[in-house]
Each structure stands twice: as structure tokens, then as C-alpha cells.
Structure 1
Amino acid sequence: MDIEKYRQFCLSLKEATEGTPFDEKTLVFSIKGKMFSSTNIETFELINVKCEPEKSIELREQFEAVIPGYYMNKKHWNSIKMDNTISDQQIQEWIENSYKLVVSTLPKKVQKELGIE
């Protein structure tokens, strides 16, 4: 997966937005102001995705390219090395799961507006 395919997929999720709130190198994808994924625009060496704590550990044990979240809460975030050892489909599933986890923290009214309850 290249950075453009990553961007396109993240932005295909309902009402997802992109921005650079931290610095000009860190691209962040959010839903209603809450981040669900990020990457370094210049290197695209890894992406960060939110994950259930138990699942985070399981994925790190199963995939060498999955590591504790870089500059993130390592209990809830994984970083995925973009080294072509994990399929695009699998990465997309993890991004979508991250998006859904973040949406689940939004007020019920907002979830209903998004069509996700």
C-alpha cells in the first residue's frame, strides 16, 4: 500500500477528514475531531491505528510488522510497518476497525447521524 492508497481508503470512511494538527509531517485522519489513524507524510514508514487492548497484544505477537503505537498510548494503539509484509486488505481492515472504535466513543446522537449504532 502506498500513501495515496492509504489516504483514499481513510477518506472513503464516512465523514473522515484529514489534517496536520501536530506538525507539517504528521498526517492525521479523524472522525468528528477524534483521530483514528496517522502517518508521517515524508517517510510513510508506518501508520498508527487504534485497537482493542487484548487484540493489540495478539497482533504484535502474530505479525512482526505490528509494533506498539509509536508516540501513542501503547495499550490502545498499534503501529504497522509499511514494509509490504501485510496485505493491503488486512491493513484496510485494521484501519476500519480503528475508525469503528473511535466512532463508538462518540455520543449516541452522533453515531446515529453517521448511521453507526
Structure 2
Amino acid sequence: MSAAGDRLQDTARKAALALPDVSHSRPFTPQLDVYKVAGKVFLIVTDDPDEQIITVKCEPEHARAHMHAHASITPGRYLDKRHWITLGPGTGITKRLITDAVEDSYDLVAAQLPRRDRPRPR
């Protein structure tokens, strides 16, 4: 079953907040929730009712595969199009896919941190 926009966003928020050492803020606009690990962004959730999307970091080869498999996954909105993808509601966008995308993004960002700044293993 596919996730509608509000469920997509809620699923992403819950997945992010379940991870260790995550902070949340709205530094850019009241309609953008930004989730970080050790000060580095790994998830952006858009609250605009006309554009219910999330954006996550993704390995380039996985990004291409996701975009090929799902019409509602596109290159990252307003970010590096090679390393970020945007997920919108649509066919095949499930809670599991959303949760996996958020967790994978977190892991990618955490792995790039200096050892002293990395969160404890989950």
C-alpha cells in the first residue's frame, strides 16, 4: 500500500526521531522540518500542503535505482541532485521504503562524521 503525503511525512518524522542523537529545527522557513545528526542534515520534510515531500541523502547508484523504479522519487529538491532524492506520495512509496530511506540517509551522514562526533551504534 502506498503512503499518502501526510503519512509519508509522519512516517519520515517518526523514523528520524527514533534514531540516536537526532536534532530537529526549522532554520529556513516554518514549512521545512530539518533533521540533523551532529549538526549535519540528513532529512528535510516539507509541510506545504500542496507539496508533501521529504528529501534524503542517498548513494548515487541507489538514487538512480529508486528514481527508475518510482515515478514519485526525483532528484533532491534544492540540493545536490546526485546525492539527494525527493520522495513524494505515489505508487510503491510504502512506509518501509520511507523508513529505509531515512535510516540510510542518517547512516550515510553519520559515517562521514569524525569518529568523536558519531552517534552511538544503534
Contact 2:15 2:103 in 1 (8 A): no
Report the equivalent of 2:103: 96
Aligned position for 2:52: 45
Unaligned residue ranges in structure 1 (runs of 5+): none
Stretch moving more, 8-17 or 71-80: 8-17
Aligned equivalents of 2:66, 2:92: Cα separation in 1: 14
Measure the CA separation in 2 of the matches of 1:84 and 1:21: 31
| Over 2 Å off, 4+ runs | 3-6, 82-85
Q: In the alignment, is residue 115 of structure 1 matched against residue 103 of structure 2?
A: no
* Structure 2 partner of 1:76: 83
Could you tell me the TM-score, scaled by structure 2's length? 0.85
Q: Is the 8 A contact 1:68 1:77 kept in 2?
A: yes
Measure the CA separation in 2 of the matches of 1:8 and 1:58: 25
Q: CA deviation at 1:79?
A: 0.2
Count how many residue pairs are aligned between Structure 1 and Structure 2: 114
Does 2:31 correspond to 1:31? no
Shift of 1:62: 1.2
Where relative contact order (Cα < 8 A, 6+ residues apart) is larger, the structure is 2
Where structure 2 has 5 or more consecutive residues not aligned to the other structure, the ranges are: none
Question: Which secondary structure state, in structure 1, belongs to the residue aligned with residue 74 of structure 2?
Answer: strand
Q: What TM-score, normalized by structure 1, do the two folds share?
A: 0.88
